Structure 1
Amino acid sequence: KKRSEWAEPDSDSFEDYWDFYTTFFQNCIDNEKKMSHYSSIAHFIQGLNDDEYSKDITKSPNF
């Protein structure tokens, strides 16, 4: 079953806590990856708007 990100573990058993925290940290890692991905896109678009990058796309720091 899929537990929500901020839910409490179902019981006091070690397995439930282990499952809860591994899921929680995996969610944190996934969110971090998503954020850095969108950040790269934003930097790329910003780069397209800069004069020095608009002439030659290969000068973009993301390539």
Structure 2
Amino acid sequence: MGRRPKNKAPIAVEVATREARIAAHAAFDRLWQAKMRRDGCTKGVARRAGYRWLASQLYMDPAYCHIS
């Protein structure tokens, strides 16, 4: 997390980004876990399929699609 040089307080924008990333991961994790249960596939297969789907929805190359 970024810090301000003088008072070492969290930078608000970075806090908001971190919170959004956590929320995005929570939603994404529910999707690939449901696929894993439904299809009986491994975690890796389900996550890769999820990222491929997400990339297609965002019109981007799956190689660059990842939630940090």
Normalised by the length of structure 2, the TM-score is 0.44
Which has the greater radius of gyration?
1
